[in-house]
Structure 1
Amino acid sequence: MKYISTRGGMEPAPYSAILLEGLATDGGLVVPEVIPQIDAAVLEAWRGLDYADLATEVLGLYATDIPREDLARMCRAAYSGEKFVSPEIVPLTPIDGGITLVGLSEGPTLAFKDMAMQFLGQALEYVLGKLDRTLNIIGATSGDTGSAAEYALRGKDGIAVFMLSPQGRMSDFQRAQMYSLEDANIHNIAVAGVFDDCQHLVKSLSGDLEFKRANALGTVNSINLGRISAQMVYYIWSWLRASDAVAPGERAGYEVSFTVPSGNFGNILSGHIAKSMGLPIRRLVLAANENNVLDEFFRTGIYAPRGAAETHATSSPSMDISKASNLERFIFDLLGRDPERLSAAWAELAETGRIDLRAELPRFVEEFGFQSGTSTHADRVATIRATHEASGVVIDPHTADGVKVAREHVEEGVPMLVLETAKPEKFPDIVFEATGLRLGMPEHLAGLLELPQRVTEMADDESELREYIAARALT
């Protein structure tokens, strides 16, 4: 299995190499040269596997240059009982209205980003050790990616982390998780701006090949295909668990739908690739908050990202994103995997501030299964309250966005699975507003908010960031 760029200017490279690069060498995004296929027989062979073994099988289709025994060891280390609270790793919990929650927040930072980051931490250390290299990770976070990356990479040999976050745009819990880490290889930088400003800085530095090579830069945000591939596992796991109750003779082609709270499009992109592999997914429903650029795109066919001034600070802050980095990978597929058409679309975006794909709009649902919807603060509060009253389950605000939109797209006879985003304890204010409950801190994180915090505040200044990283990068 080799990997190419959406923009056509990169020589095919193996999985180990693209883990370290993040962006493709031509500024595009890395995608598989060919999507591996699975069928009903393969899925049945995987049905009895635990999560770590399933991850080994799925990732083995992508990481073909890594020996299977090494990959199995990494997956076993990533998805262990020491790191995940639930023995299933990803439990499924039915709630009201025919909806089931896919529990992705059982890991060390109580957010779905742990699912990919724990594997990526193992894989990066493995590849760097084989190559006797160092890597300086630069990333941007709107809340959960940063802490998941830092907890996965803290203390790892040959790795330093430079994580950018928007000043004042994360919850107290999210800031405490990141800024309280004292590991020497972790550098937190709070940028005066919004997430999209942080993301722009990361892209600018990653796109400067001379600076990137001089400072051995890599990324672990959702543009890193290692994360996308690891996230495919829980789509397959969820389908297997949802279809366990179906008679063996009726499982082939048994369809489920997924609703995914989305900001940067990485999580739902993994579902898109899983569907492209042959997993029987009927609908992929994208749930946006007030920053609903992606909902507008999937409803109208026009992608028109907004600027920082038009990006709202909401009560589901991890989705406060108006420029979805991973959308380029979907548009690449939409345009027939044609790098010239993709590059033309991005040239149109640079010139006009939008991409007009209305001619392709019928294919969004018919071919790819995409639908979408928007949720507001009032919707989140009402959904958290209603879900708790009906089922006793408390959900976080991002998951509430997903449940609200999922209710609008439930089809009779088709299970609707909503991907959980984080534990509600990370967002106590909106939970209290909705339910009157004061959620306590999980026992293993008691005292987190009182720990001293270590963070460097910085202007939205690329030159200042370059100097900061160059002075501290591992060589």
Structure 2
Amino acid sequence: MKYLSTRGGMAPAPFSEILLEGLAPDGGLVVPEQVPVVTAAQLESWRGLGYAELATEVIGLYATDIPRDALARLCRAAYDPARFGSADIVPLRRLDDELTLVGLSEGPTLAFKDMAMQFLGQVLEYALAERGTTLNILGATSGDTGSAAEYALRGKHGVGVFMLSPQGRMSRFQRAQMYSLTDENIHNIAVDGDFDACQHLVKEITGDAEFKRRHHIGAVNSINFARICAQIVYYFWAWLRASDALAASEGSTDASPAALAAREVSFTVPSGNFGNIFSGFLAKRMGLPIRRLVLATNENNVLDEFFSTGVYRPRGEQTLATSSPSMDISKASNLERFVFEVFGRDAEAFAEAWRGLDRDGELDLSAERGRFADEFGFASGTSTHADRVATIRETHERYGVVVDPHTADGLAVARRHLEPGVPMLVLETAKPDKFPEIVVEAIGAAPELPAELQRLLEAPQHVTETPNDAEAIRSIIARDAVA
């Protein structure tokens, strides 16, 4: 398997090479030359696998230059039950006949980002050791990516982490998780701006080829394809378990290709930077029986607007601070990968259209809008603060389950897209412990924090505050980078 750039200016490269680069040399995002197809027989053979074994099979279709025994070892280390809440790694919780929560927040930072970051931490250290080199990660976070990356990479040999976060735009718990770390290879930088400003700084600095080469700069944001393919795994995991439940309800033991294909499910995905749901898009392209991929946004609903109208208008400085802060994003980096598919993988045509976005501030694909649902399976919706509060309250009252605000956005939008006979699987985003203020508003009490998490909130914090200025970030990296 080789990888190309969405913008056409990159020679085909293997997985281990694009793993270390992040962005393509021409500023585009890497995509596989072709999406691997999984047969019904393969799906059936994966049914009894544990999570690490399934990850080895799915990721192995993309990371073909990593020996299978080494990949299996990396997946076992990443998805060790000791790091997660149970041997299941990703438990499914059925709320009722229509809705099921996919439990993605059992990892060390209590957020779905752990699912990809734990693998990325393992595979990065492996690839660097194989090459005898070092890497300095430059990333941006709206809340959960930063802590997941830092916990996965803390203390890793040959890796430095420089994580940009927006000053005053994360929850108290998110700040504590990141800023309390004292590992020498972890550097937290709070930028005077919103997440989009942080993301722009990352792109500006990584677009400086000479600086990037000199300081061995890489990326762990969802632009890194290793994260995308690691996230594909839990779509297969969830479908396999949901299809088991469907078969049981039908009293069926039929495992024929036709029977498996008929057991379609839909997924609702709380979305900010489009990486998580793009992984679902690839799973669908690989042959997983997914009917709908429902994208849920908060008040920063640029993506809902795009899928509803076909017009993409990033809002930049108009990004709102909301009660689901990890989705406070108005320029979704991974949308580039989807638009590339809309253009039939024609890099020249895509690059010309994308230049128009930079020039005009919008990308008009309204003529293609019908394909978003009919060909690609997308639907979308917006959830507000009032929706979040009402959904957290209702989910607690009806099911005895407390959810975080991002998962509440997903549940609120999911209910608008239910179809008879099609289970709706909602991807959980984080534990509610990380967002106590809105939980109190919804149900009158905050989640009870374990003693270790309470100590985390009280620990000293270590962060460097900077202006929204690329030179300020460059100077920090130049001073502290792992050589």
Asked if Structure 1 and Structure 2 have the same fold, meaning a TM-score greater than 0.5 normalized by the shorter chain, the answer is yes
Query: Which of 351, 370, 391 is the matching residue for 1:383?
Result: 391
What corresponds to 1:263 in structure 2?
272
What secondary structure is seen at the aligned counterpart in 2 of 1:183?
A: coil
CA contact (8 A) 2:269 2:426 kept: yes
Per-residue deviation at 1:315? 0.1
Per-residue deviation at 1:414? 0.3
**Could you report, residue by residue, the CA deviation over 1:92-144 in whole angstroms, capped at 9, with x for unpaired residues?**
00114611000000000000000000000000000000000000000000000
Distance 1:129 1:351 in 2: 42
What secondary structure is seen at the aligned counterpart in 1 of 2:82?
A: coil
CA contact (8 A) 2:150 2:178 kept: yes
**Could you report, residue by residue, the CA deviation over 1:328-356 in whole angstroms, capped at 9, with x for unpaired residues?**
00000011000011111111111110000
1:256-295 alignment runs, 5 A limit: 256-295=265-304
What corresponds to 2:126 in structure 1?
126
**Could you report, residue by residue, the CA deviation over 1:191-237 in whole angstroms, capped at 9, with x for unpaired residues?**
00000000000001111111100110000000000000000000000
CA contact (8 A) 2:6 2:28 kept: yes
CA contact (8 A) 1:298 1:370 kept: yes
**Could you report, residue by residue, the CA deviation over 1:389-440 in whole angstroms, capped at 9, with x for unpaired residues?**
0000000000000000000000010000000000000000100100112212
What secondary structure is seen at the aligned counterpart in 1 of 2:187?
A: strand
What corresponds to 1:358 in structure 2?
366
CA contact (8 A) 1:5 1:28 kept: yes
CA contact (8 A) 1:96 1:387 kept: no
Per-residue deviation at 1:39? 1.6
1:334 equivalenced with 2:339 (yes/no): no
Distance 1:390 1:362 in 2: 36
What corresponds to 1:248 in structure 2?
253
Structure 2 alignment gaps of length 5 or more: none
What corresponds to 2:231 in structure 1?
231
Q: Which amino acid aligns with 2:157?
A: D
Distance 2:369 2:75 in 1: 38
What secondary structure is seen at the aligned counterpart in 2 of 1:244?
A: helix
Distance 1:438 1:109 in 2: 18
CA contact (8 A) 1:96 1:390 kept: no
CA contact (8 A) 1:40 1:253 kept: no
Distance 1:69 1:133 in 2: 22
CA contact (8 A) 1:104 1:112 kept: yes
What secondary structure is seen at the aligned counterpart in 2 of 1:203?
A: helix
TM-score by length of 1: 0.99
Query: Which of 434, 440, 447 is the matching residue for 1:426?
Result: 434
What secondary structure is seen at the aligned counterpart in 1 of 2:261?
A: coil
TM-score by length of 2: 0.97
Distance 1:155 1:189 in 2: 18
What corresponds to 1:471 in structure 2?
479
Share of identical aligned residues, percent?
A: 70
Q: Which amino acid aligns with 1:130?
A: E
Distance 1:248 1:58 in 2: 25
Per-residue deviation at 1:443? 4.4
Q: Which amino acid aligns with 1:264?
A: N
Q: Which amino acid aligns with 1:108?
A: P
RMSD over equivalenced CA pairs, Å? 0.8
Residue correspondences, number: 474
CA contact (8 A) 1:261 1:287 kept: yes
1:78 equivalenced with 2:86 (yes/no): no
CA contact (8 A) 1:263 1:288 kept: yes
Distance 1:166 1:107 in 2: 24
1:413 equivalenced with 2:421 (yes/no): yes
Per-residue deviation at 1:442? 3.0
What corresponds to 2:136 in structure 1?
136
Distance 2:25 2:224 in 1: 13
Distance 2:65 2:291 in 1: 32
1:314 equivalenced with 2:319 (yes/no): no
Per-residue deviation at 1:446? 3.5
What corresponds to 1:439 in structure 2?
447
CA contact (8 A) 1:103 1:420 kept: yes
Distance 1:438 1:117 in 2: 28
Per-residue deviation at 1:444? 4.1
What corresponds to 1:399 in structure 2?
407
Distance 2:240 2:451 in 1: 32
Distance 2:468 2:328 in 1: 17
What secondary structure is seen at the aligned counterpart in 2 of 1:200?
A: helix
CA contact (8 A) 2:97 2:423 kept: no
CA contact (8 A) 1:166 1:192 kept: yes
Q: Which amino acid aligns with 1:226?
A: A
CA contact (8 A) 2:90 2:102 kept: yes
Distance 2:370 2:411 in 1: 25
Q: Which moved more, 1:336-345 or 1:400-409?
A: 336-345
What corresponds to 2:184 in structure 1?
184
What secondary structure is seen at the aligned counterpart in 1 of 2:81?
A: coil
Distance 1:449 1:242 in 2: 37
What secondary structure is seen at the aligned counterpart in 1 of 2:83?
A: coil
What corresponds to 2:308 in structure 1?
299
What secondary structure is seen at the aligned counterpart in 2 of 1:373?
A: strand
What secondary structure is seen at the aligned counterpart in 2 of 1:47?
A: coil
Distance 1:86 1:384 in 2: 24
Q: Which amino acid aligns with 2:177?
A: Q
Query: Which of 452, 462, 465 is the matching residue for 2:460?
Result: 452
1:369 equivalenced with 2:374 (yes/no): no
Per-residue deviation at 1:251? 2.5
What corresponds to 1:25 in structure 2?
25
Distance 2:306 2:210 in 1: 35
What secondary structure is seen at the aligned counterpart in 2 of 1:31?
A: strand
CA contact (8 A) 1:286 1:295 kept: yes
Q: Which amino acid aligns with 2:400?
A: G
CA contact (8 A) 1:109 1:151 kept: yes
CA contact (8 A) 1:97 1:407 kept: no
Q: After the TM superposition, which parts of structure 1 deviate over 4 Å for at least 4 consecutive aligned residues?
A: none
What corresponds to 2:11 in structure 1?
11
Q: Which amino acid aligns with 1:255?
A: E
What corresponds to 2:54 in structure 1?
54
